[in-house]
Amino acid sequence: MKKITVFCGSNFGTKKIYEEQAYQLGKTLAQNNIGLVYGGSKTGLMGTLANGVLENNGEVIGVLPHFLREKELAHQNLSELLFVDTMHERKTKMNELSDGIITLSGGLGTLEELFEMLTWAQLGFHKKPIAILNVDGFYDSLLGLLQNMTDKGFLKKANKEILIISSSIDDLLHRMKKLHSTGL
């Protein structure tokens, strides 16, 4: 994999481990010569993730809607910063530029991004590995909901299994690379 899109929060959350793991993921991507594609912001986990890559000599491509540029949220030190008109164009561009998707802790926007990528995979629009780095059990309740959806017949088991889940960065990347190399 050459580039991975990462979705995550523009806030830090209530536990320092979210920030630490965002930085460590960025550092690990850079050390493995995997470029980062992300939302382009300097704030919260997004900024920390980008700094983890940049401070370890990695490549970072940010994709930011124009309206967020006006709020001065853009990270100024990226390898490349692309501007789009809408949030939907942002996700589309991020997907086009990457070989896989990782989701870190975040809020509603992060969930929306994750679910759009999962829906696109379910519909066959892409075959990229999609993963959650489940830091400190952050996504345990969501994973329970997905299991409930499967148990109640609203989500096919095969579609639930599209999602790679791990609390370890190295394990997550290994599983994504393995899936990517098999061509799904």
- Taking only the tens place, the pLDDT of each residue in 156-177 is 999 999 999 999 999 999 999 9
**Which residues of the chain fall short of a pLDDT of 50?**
184
CATH number for the domain spanning 55: value is 3.40.50.450
Q: What share of the chain is helix, strand, coil (3-state, %, to 5)?
A: 50, 20, 35
pTM to 2 decimal places: 0.95
Q: Residue 30 is part of which domain span?
A: 3-181
Measured distance CA(13)–CA(102) in Å, rounded: 18
Residue 183 has a pLDDT of: 56
Residue 182 has a pLDDT of: 63
- The domain total for the chain is 1
